[in-house]
Amino acid sequence: MPEGHEPSTSHMPSASIVVISRHRPQALARCLTALAGQTHPDFEVVLVADPASSGMRPDLPLKRLAFDHANISAARNEGLALAAGEVVLFIDDDALAESGWAEALARPLADPRVVAATGFTRGPDGLRWQVRAERITPSGATEPLDIAKTTLLSPENGCPVSTIGTNCGFRREALLAIGGFDPAFPYYLDESDVNMRMAARFPQGLTAVVPSAQVIHGIAPGPGRGKGGVPRDLTAIGRSAAIFAARHGGDIGGLRDSQRRRLLRHMVAGRLDPFAIAPILATLERGLAEGQGPSPAPPAPWSRPPPPPLRPMPRMAMAGEPLFLAGWYWQARALRARAAQVVAQGQTVTLLLLTPGFLPHRRTLAPGGWWEQCGGLWAPSRPGDPPVIFLSKNARILRERGNLPG
């Protein structure tokens, strides 16, 4: 484990959670449902979305802004302009935050030495890791870190901790001091550029890696990718990578190979036509060419007006300890009705539905507001699991509940 600093916290800082959404109303609705269940005692939600989605969930007291430009950095800056919390947390619209996410991510930022924080992110199945702890290099590549508990880390050899955009937080004053996000990065390496500029502005500043601050990232389709995260156009990636390397003194020598390997993995999995690889790689070259030349000047320190006062979300009235329900899939109707009843009473619920087989497990947030995991009795459900796990029904339930190791 890398050497780090011990957290030192005195209070829970108020938080603004900024959600950026563009033409993904179904994903956004689920994201907001998860955020409404956060345990943080003093937080607001700032929604920056296309006009058709900015009014989503009118029952929630959100700060709302209609914004319909395909530039996530510009959209995040609009959210930052409305954010009144001591810390500002960011999450994508295709991500689902565990109920304790905001509280866990914000807590280390009470330590005045900490300027940024990041959590652990699970993939679309809700169980296996997509991103854990990493450092970002001046070339935009990442280097993994072995982190098991909340750890505070400083930049090392010019490489700060990477804060993935769908699961990150910053001390608001620190983010304003570097001018927020840079619209020169409309997509890709946008948060990495923030990490590099933050490290340059605050060389002694610490970043908290918080394994318990977890979200599920769905990788919904977007302008540059299709279903399942299959790339369709790499122009933005090439342009951003070229600008990033020029600004921070890196090189892009490994980018072509990494993107080619990425496309080949999709091809082998049957998600990409082999004849599509060359045209897609051509878009990468086009983006690299567009990004050549003098690097754009980084943003100036923030000079926009102060935000409106914090608009707190309602405090969750917890009716009791989280409830764990489990049974066979054919009992789903009765178990879901029970889950809905308990959720309506303000209690957190996880529902496990098993089938007698080897169907891989998946975990997500049900429309009714409970967490639901489905899968085979003998199938893997955790990172590193073998393909087959022979357990009885009762033992499997205990394992998924966390009462049985391994």
Q: What is the pLDDT of residues 318-336, one digit of tens each?
A: 556 789 999 999 999 999 9
Percent with pLDDT over 90 in the chain = 83
Average pLDDT across the chain, whole number: 92
Is 330 strand, coil or helix? Answer: helix
Residues 212 and 120: their CA atoms lie apart, in Å, by 7
Which tokens hold the place of 208? 């908290």
Residue 162 per-residue DSSP state: P
Q: State whether CATH 3.90.550.10 applies to domain 15-220.
A: yes
Residues 94 and 27: their CA atoms lie apart, in Å, by 5
More confident: 169 or 4: 169
Residues 119 and 97: their CA atoms lie apart, in Å, by 11
Q: Taking residues 101-107, what's their average pLDDT?
A: 97
Q: Taking a C-beta distance cutoff of 8 angstroms, is the pair 91, 31 a contact? A: yes
Helix (H) or strand (E) holding 173: helix 172-177
Which tokens hold the place of 81? 């302009």
pTM of the model: 0.92
The residues that bridge with 353 in the sheet, in sequence order, are 327, 374
pLDDT score for 11: 84
Q: How many CB atoms lie within 10 A of CB 154?
A: 17
pLDDT score for 402: 84
pLDDT score for 4: 67
Outline where DSSP puts E strands in 63-166: 63-66, 87-92, 95-97, 114-122, 129-131, 134-136, 142-144, 151-153
Mention every residue, 6+ apart, whose C-beta is less than 8 A from residue 181: 72, 73, 74, 76, 77, 80, 190, 191, 193, 194, 299
Residues 136 and 163: their CA atoms lie apart, in Å, by 9
Which tokens hold the place of 205? 């500043």
Percent with pLDDT over 70 in the chain = 95
Amino acid of residue 63:
K
Residue ranges, comma separated, of all CATH 3.90.550.10 domains in the chain are: 15-220
Residues 198 and 177: their CA atoms lie apart, in Å, by 9
In the predicted model, is pLDDT for residue 340 greater than 80? yes
pLDDT score for 374: 97
Residue 166 per-residue DSSP state: T
* Residue bearing tokens 């082999």: 274
Pairing of strands 142-144, 87-92: unpaired
In the predicted model, is pLDDT for residue 311 greater than 70? yes
Which tokens hold the place of 181? 């996000």
If pLDDT is split at 50, 70 and 90, which confidence band does 317 have? low
Q: Taking residues 115-135, what's their average pLDDT?
A: 95
pLDDT score for 216: 96
Residues 325 and 336: their CA atoms lie apart, in Å, by 9
In the predicted model, is pLDDT for residue 73 greater than 80? yes
pLDDT score for 320: 66
Q: CB burial class (10 A; 0-12, 13-18, 19+) of residue 125?
A: middle
pLDDT score for 405: 52
In the predicted model, is pLDDT for residue 2 greater than 70? no
In the predicted model, is pLDDT for residue 9 greater than 60? no
Residues 181 and 300: their CA atoms lie apart, in Å, by 10
pLDDT score for 7: 65
In the predicted model, is pLDDT for residue 199 greater than 50? yes
Q: Taking residues 6-34, what's their average pLDDT?
A: 89
